[in-house]
Structure 1
């Protein structure tokens, strides 16, 4: 079978070369990487020198060029997630980054420091949860896309046939992808979330699977990547597929989420909620049309569910989105605005049924994909719901889980798992599995984009909003605030380096990492802390008269408050901003 990669590998290391040996039954292939010339060749097992240091590995993630030269990235630990139509799905849980160079003596102190920072960036991305792979199955495509392929497609390697939107190590594999003879060593890796459960309703056993595929185009962190780019790629774009496998029949329901497809930004500036800004000079229609043209080609009809607030700072985005859909005038696109926070205020989450009732007819029209045990397609999904809020995380996930449940109800009835008139919500055991899986999906997507778990997961897990859930949301919001302002620049740089949006050039005269901080960046926070401390000291150690004490307290109090507002006014200078890819490229 052509579309497989080697599952069992051994890495043999000598001072001159890396030898990656295929240990699958009957395999004699050895991938040789020259550590000096960086040349990649295919050989046989007898060429491995007995002096090599040997260790097992589970896949090659790829190679990357940093200041010190090339590095090989390999998967060293994996965890079995489950089996998918007799194909094992793995989660990569640990990696190793191996230098081609045996010494760093050729580097200056600045280069050494830069190389260390770049390595830290690579390790940061590798430490993010959610890298999945299969050596025998193409995880990047939906069941419907895989059912409609040519014989030529079936013969392609996993790397060649993969949907490039979802291959997170595509840049790292560029050297191996240029040589078709070594493709069985090139393992495409998905980033997102996968969960699999064997379930039972009415004594009938079926597999229920949830897959979220995160796009590597316009990828990044919450406040530094919003809207779309000139190619029409949306920020935080995730394709989520829910699959049912029962007695050989397979059903699937696909939804998408993605940032509002306009040119807009929302850069951190120390405020809790920075003001979103719509670009006034960009040609929005150009990017908007590119985005939906590609979505219609891939998925068919588009039902947009826009969940942002219809007042306050989010209102201009909702109005602009509605205007763009109206101006485009494409019959394949339908637009629904639902002010989630207004409709569900005072914890009235039962009001979400208003939206579900509004889209019920459209959902029936879009349908779902269904194929029988003989491989005959009984039903195809004619389009998708494209949901969004501001972050496309918390509100979006709640709505997606409700739409997916409605589709699942119809699928299980058609497959004969549910009896006529039976409701999925009444199946307590399955409901618990279902709700927890969707809440876990929310957390995974939120950690990858915003840096913390999702908000509102108490509703997804239990079906109702709780006081404890509100407290947890407050805590997660605080952590998000800190990360978005003080560590997201590094996170964004890490993703840009990993995905190849930035390439290291060791001959660059000025490293983007060594841009000196403005003096006020250090001076103002120190002045504020000193002034505040003096204010407290003056309160605790009263002077001879109350007027003297008051004068000191007022002086230091005004100094600390004044400095605080100067820092807030210049907020953009105090946040951790990306240094590798310039703002112009991001917007």
Structure 2
């Protein structure tokens, strides 16, 4: 199978505890000299697991049976606590089927670590929101509302005095930390923004963001664009479920667009991702060049057809020049040149075969 048709199986965490697809997102508000922000993180489930491409739409996750999961897990969250403080972990993967072992492993790791700085919440996104019941996302928001109030947000007034500090972050994940994750992050950020704007006096008590139509449109589009930017880097297409992020409603047109993007992702991930992965490995220094290998992996081998074509074109061009210079003086050369030019398409077809 050609290299471009192979997608390398990659572990979602390394020995230093760095998780794949890790992204920090900060929502910043400026108003009359005051500044407020709300930080969230997303990242792959921090245990040693991977998915091997096998032409299935959803390759089964494989959890390593030999790796020290707790070592990588603890390294990851030790660094997260140092940087961000308390961790509220929201795991959005399925709690049945092929994703179930991952959810169970994640929950077990959190429980085994026994850190008072971490809270774990499992929310089966697909089960809860099936049959277009996306209003049920309010169940999760209600569940974490008190925790979000406890973590708070950062706020500094126009005089430069810190009014409140954010004491921790929500760390959300699904399988690839793209589509489901972005939906939940946008809702959490929206709830924080509501509180910030009331604190800054932009909204009066009792006023809601959804009542500000123009601002609502801009805000939702910003989060949908954020989803697309993350998804294009990793999956090669825009994010799924952005119809909900942009409009607040799940639509049939959105389902169709998700199907189209999913089809493109399937093709790219299985048949054209090898070159991109090689490029990433090269830039990250993960590709080591064998000193005994004489052939450069960056060069494309050329056979005799690529060498012969320029020579034929030079000869043809030369014959044309001769014909123009010696028109009427050498019928033999003229007829030979015309015959040669008429044969060029034939030679080209042979060389292009």
Which protein shows a greater Rg? 2
Please report how far the alpha carbon of residue 500 of structure 1 lies from its aligned counterpart in structure 2 after TM superposition: 3.0
Alignment partner of 2:157 out of 372, 377, 381: 372
Report the equivalent of 2:248: 463
Structure 1: distance between partners of 2:291 and 2:215: 55
Q: Deviations over 1:178-208 (max 9, x none)?
A: xxxxxxxxxxxxxxxxxxxxxxxxxxxxxxx
Distance 1:319 1:512 in 2: 42
- Which residue in the other structure is 2:85 paired with? 300
Q: CA deviation at 1:262?
A: 0.4
1:186-585 → structure 2 map (5 Å cutoff): 224-502=9-287, 508-509=293-294, 511=296
Q: Deviations over 1:427-469 (max 9, x none)?
A: 1111100111111111110010111111100000110011110
Q: For the Cα contact (< 8 Å) 2:47–2:106, is it kept in 1?
A: yes
Query: Aligned-pair RMSD on alpha carbons?
Result: 2.0
Partner SS state of residue 131, structure 2: helix
CA distance in 2, matches of 1:504, 1:403: 46
Closer, same or farther: CA 275–511 of 1 in aligned 2, 3 Å: farther
Q: Is the 8 A contact 2:8 2:277 kept in 1?
A: no
Give 3-state SS (helix, strand or coil) of 1:347's partner: coil
Contact 2:154 2:166 in 1 (8 A): yes
CA contact (8 A) 2:8 2:274 kept: no
1:141 match: none
Q: CA deviation at 1:264?
A: 0.2
The answer to whether the 8 Å contact 2:17/2:73 transfers is: yes
The 5 Å alignment of 1:30-45 reads: none
Residue pair 1:260, 1:321 contacting (<8 A) in 2 also: yes
Superimposed CA distance per residue, residues 544-584 of structure 1 (whole angstroms, 9 cap, x where no aligned partner): xxxxxxxxxxxxxxxxxxxxxxxxxxxxxxxxxxxxxxxxx
Q: 1:470 to 1:495 in 2, by over 3 A?
A: same
Larger relative contact order (Cα-Cα within 8 Å, sequence gap ≥ 6): 2
Cα deviations by residue, 1:288-327 (Å, 9 ceiling, x for unpaired): 0000000000000000000000000000000000000000
Secondary structure of the equivalent of 1:320?
helix
Residues 65-76 of structure 1: pairs in structure 2 closer than 5 A:
none
Q: Distance in 2 between matches of 1:332 and 1:481?
A: 38
Q: Is the 8 A contact 2:35 2:155 kept in 1?
A: yes
Q: Distance in 2 between matches of 1:515 and 1:268?
A: 26
What stretches of structure 2 of length at least 5 have no aligned partner? Answer: 1-6, 302-353
**1:514 positional shift:** 8.7
Q: CA deviation at 1:487?
A: 1.3
The separation in 1 between residues aligned to 2:61 and 2:299, in whole angstroms, is 30
Q: Distance in 1 between matches of 2:162 and 2:289?
A: 48
Question: Aligned in 2, Cα 1:226/1:389: closer, same or farther, shift over 3 Å?
Answer: farther
Gaps of 5+ in 1: 1-221, 517-587
Query: What secondary structure is seen at the aligned counterpart in 2 of 1:241?
Result: strand
Give the structure-2-normalised TM-score.
0.80
Residues 469 and 502 from structure 1, CA distance in 2 versus in 1: closer, same or farther, beyond 3 angstroms?
A: same
How far off its partner does 1:512 sit? 5.4
* TM-superposed deviation, 1:498: 2.2
> Matches of 1:441 and 1:502 in 2, distance apart?
31
Bigger mean CA deviation after superposition, 415-424 or 492-501:
492-501
User: The residue matched to 1:235 in structure 2 has which SS?
Assistant: coil
What is the CA–CA distance in structure 1 between the aligned matches of 2:14 and 2:127, rounded to whole Å?
Answer: 30
Give the secondary structure class of the aligned counterpart of 1:334.
strand
Contact 1:226-1:234 at 8 Å conserved across structures: no
SS of equivalent to 2:25: strand
Q: Retained in 2: the 8 A contact 1:224–1:492?
A: no
Q: Which has the higher helix share?
A: 2
In 2, Cα distance between equivalents of 1:504 and 1:432: 51
Cα deviation for residue 502 of structure 1 reads 3.0
